[in-house]
Structure 1
């Protein structure tokens, strides 16, 4: 049997308050969403962003294919909005900073991508570097 007249149901309450809040039962509103959920932000990770991802078609073997490899990596990093990690424009935040863990996670992910697209000999020379920008600079030399 349908409800009638003056009975205030959840559905009717939502309709009457639609100007104030489109869904008063929502856990997240537009203002409480994390910047990690925005694909335009460098800390955003999609479901395809994982440590074993093959981000470029060829591996770096040395100075003979560095220019081509660098271009491929830049395209891949630009597409994933991670260039700021390799060019140093997004430096590591202080440990107390709310972005510290996300920065480390993304930095580690990009390091993993880089380790998968260079020869074992090159891996040995960059394995223990802490930041993607340090690795990027080393590979450029």
Structure 2
């Protein structure tokens, strides 16, 4: 586990409350102390306007705006923030390779193994390949 994770501020943006809480609990277990959650893009925007986040998890299929579009805007606004796209297995299977190659964000399947998250926090998130 990275000692850096003890100081990380994280934001989990996902429309599924149970999934958000599961990710938050895993982050707590990894030593992350400040975890905020948002279920909509509007909530996420408000939180980002108020706070700096070291890492933001963004569901790719959020209502009212693509999570990918939101992630791209976040990248422009806060270039040092690690942004991880959350995607369902079926959504990933439905994306064509051209569309997937358009983004430079690591992708975490929502069915990820629990030991993946500590690795993601310890490593440079940009070194995790899409879908990794």
Q: TM-score, normalised by structure 1?
A: 0.25
Larger radius of gyration: 1
Q: TM-score, normalised by structure 2?
A: 0.26
Write 1 or 2 for the structure with the bigger share of strand. Answer: 2
